[in-house]
Amino acid sequence: MLKLAVPTSVAAVVARLPVTPPSLAFCVAANRLLWPALQALDWQPLVGRRYAIRVKDLGLGVRFTVTARGFAPHAGAPELTVSATAGDFLRLLARREDPDTLFFSRRLVSEGDTELGLVVKNLLDALEPEAVLGRLPRPLAQAVQRMMAA
């Protein structure tokens, strides 16, 4: 099982960040990594909706929306918030954990529009991990693969 422990000192600093810089960084990364892969899927139901992701052990939150051109930061109240620890999010990305297992064990929490949550889950399930990881710079891709193999 992939173990990731976030030092409390790091979490204390990250928790003090305003939501805008991490949201902008997330959108830049998502547009580079996820958006090209989403183009092959029916992503239209995501457009105009507001989302939040909370990484509980980091105290990190990001807010964004999906536009016709990709992900963009959004400061408004989210329609769907998904929360988990950094390790659980990495396990999801590595396909080492099933989202339903995490959900029913209360390690993955979805709040808000449950129908939208199901649409997002199905789209993410349809993504091929290689299509996303293959867009990372080589050193970062190798580091992620080592973490996923641990």
Determine the pLDDT at residue 147.
Answer: 66
3 falls within a domain: no
For residue 22, what is the domain's CATH number? 3.30.1050.10
Q: Is residue 20 part of a domain?
A: yes
Residues 7-63: tens digit of each pLDDT: 777 777 777 777 789 999 999 999 998 899 888 888 899 999 999 999 998 889 999
> Is 5 within the bounds of a domain?
no
Domain that holds residue 79: 16-149
Instruction: Check residue 72 and give its pLDDT.
Output: 97
Is 8 domain-assigned? no
What is the rounded average pLDDT of the residues 81-110?
87
Q: With the CA atoms of 131, 41, 33 and 29 taken in that order, what torsion angle do they form, in degrees rounded to the nearest 10? A: -160
Residue 149 has a pLDDT of 66
User: In the β-sheet with 70-73, what is the strand arrangement from edge to edge?
Assistant: 70-73, 60-67, 50-55, 80-84, 109-112
Confirm whether 98 is domain-assigned: yes
How many structural domains comprise the chain?
1
Q: Is residue 122 part of a domain?
A: yes
Structure-token match 């050193």, residue found? 139
Distance CA 1, CA 29 (A): 26
Q: 125 lies in a domain?
A: yes
d(CA 88, CA 80): 18
By the 10 Å C-beta count (0-12 exposed, 13-18 middle, 19+ buried), 12 is classed as exposed
Reported as a single tens digit per residue, the pLDDT across 65-90 is 999 999 999 988 999 999 999 888 87
6 within a domain of the structure (yes/no): no
